Amino acid sequence: MPRIPYFDMDQVTPEYSEMLNGRYNLNLYRMLPHATTIAPGFLKMGGAILRDSALDPQLREIAILRVGFLSQATYEVHQHKRIARRIGLADDKIAALETAPESAVFTPLEKLVIRYTDEVVANVKASDALFSELLGKLDERRMAELTLIIGFYMAVSRFLENFEIEIEPARR
């Protein structure tokens, strides 16, 4: 049960309603309108991350799932396991992200992304050595996007967990 009631969707702003057009009816989208003026920006950034990022989608989902696992954000992990599978991330990699981030199932680049994600979540700033090593594999745009993705999903996870947003019933 969420800590506060979901927002009355008949009362959302026209801008927010228009932005939801075509999106799944997620409980996250039903809680966000409490942050009336921030919610549209949140949706825009989330959409840009999922649709407009230059970062490889599998690296993106590795980072997002790792943030979700580190944050113990059940809803976040649930939603992004589906997305990760849809873009072809193997089940053994998804499982290893929770408990075995150094697993041999990951490529060297994936391991770097996981280490970077871990350091940013734990320490805010990654070490110079790790930052430089990863920057040697990703260009500046992808490095910036990865860092913003980690930060955004840290915020998402904290929002989900603090409001105790429930996982929706399975879609048919």
pLDDT tens digits for range 87-105:
999 999 999 999 988 899 9
23-79 residue pLDDT tens: 778 999 999 999 999 999 999 999 999 999 999 999 999 999 999 999 999 999 999
pLDDT of amino acid 4: 97
pLDDT of amino acid 172: 56
The domains found in the chain, sorted by start residue, are 9-51 (no CATH), 57-162 (1.20.1290.10)
pLDDT of amino acid 100: 86
| % of the chain beyond a pLDDT of 70 | 99
R_g of the chain computed on alpha carbons: 17
Contact 82, 63 (CB under 8 A): no
126-140 residue pLDDT tens: 999 999 999 999 999
pLDDT of amino acid 171: 66
pTM to 2 decimal places:
0.94
Q: State mean pLDDT over 142-163.
A: 98
pLDDT of amino acid 96: 96
pLDDT of amino acid 21: 85
Contact 58, 88 (CB under 8 A): yes
pLDDT of amino acid 24: 77
